Amino acid sequence: MTEQGKLTDQEAWQQFVQGCQACQRCSLSQSRRHVVISRGAVPAPLMFIGEGPGADEDAQGIPFVGAAGKLLDLLLVAYDLKPDMYHIANIVKCRPPQNRVPTPEEAKSCRPWLARQFQLVRPKLIVLLGATAYKYFTGGTEGISKIRGQWIEKSGYLILPTYHPAYILRNNNERVRLWDDIGMVRDKLEELGLVEPLQHQPDMPLGRS
């Protein structure tokens, strides 16, 4: 507690985590092994939002630790974006069975948690990973290939939709687009003075051809 009787940032975060862990707002809570809340820093200038936990994330209670997460991490390391710069979360915090897309009701049930997370993380830039994150976060209905790679300004935030890394694992020929989009994030962080400029051009980890 602060002298004014307010929760400290750390206490507020702990209270938020406890709330998520006890959540039974939708039926995904019945089949989950773990509530998957975040990895990275709080607060953080950059927030990634994915769709929902898969089997690996459900088992470990940490977002993006499976194959898609490994690809995301390769990109973050290549652009020298360290975990103290970013926060990773999902539209829903519990695994949808068989990794299906979360239903609108599930996304709606989870939204107050994401809204609270957002308040605590206070990001400047938001990267939406894939069509589901784009749809549920912005309400937009455009296809992801149409709107990816373009900044959207909304209520003082900068939002960049891009491909989900799992899509890139299945469509390797598109990988340069995800690479370029994370490059745009890097450029924007530099422009806003939030990271030091890179000393040399990064190499795309999986080759550019």
Give min distance, CB of 167 to ligand URA, in A.
10
51 binds ligand URA (CB under 6 A): yes
Nearest to 33 by CA among 80, 97, 111, 108: 97
Residues 102-141 that bind ligand URA (CB under 6 A): none
Binding flags for ligand URA, 134-173, as an x/- string (CB under 6 A) = --------------------------------x-------
Contact 161, 177 (CB under 8 A): no
Q: According to the binding rule CB under 6 A, does residue 40 interact with ligand URA? A: no
Q: How far apart are CA 37 and CA 208, in angstroms?
A: 33
Residue type, 5: G
Q: Which of 20, 23, 40, 52 binds ligand URA (CB under 6 A)?
A: 52
Q: Give me the residue label for tokens 């939030």.
A: 194
The verdict on 58 binding ligand URA (CB under 6 A) reads no
Q: Are 35 and 23 in contact (CB under 8 A)?
A: yes
Residue type for position 28: L
Applying CB under 6 A, the residues found at the interface with ligand URA are 50-54, 57, 63-64, 66, 68-69, 90, 166
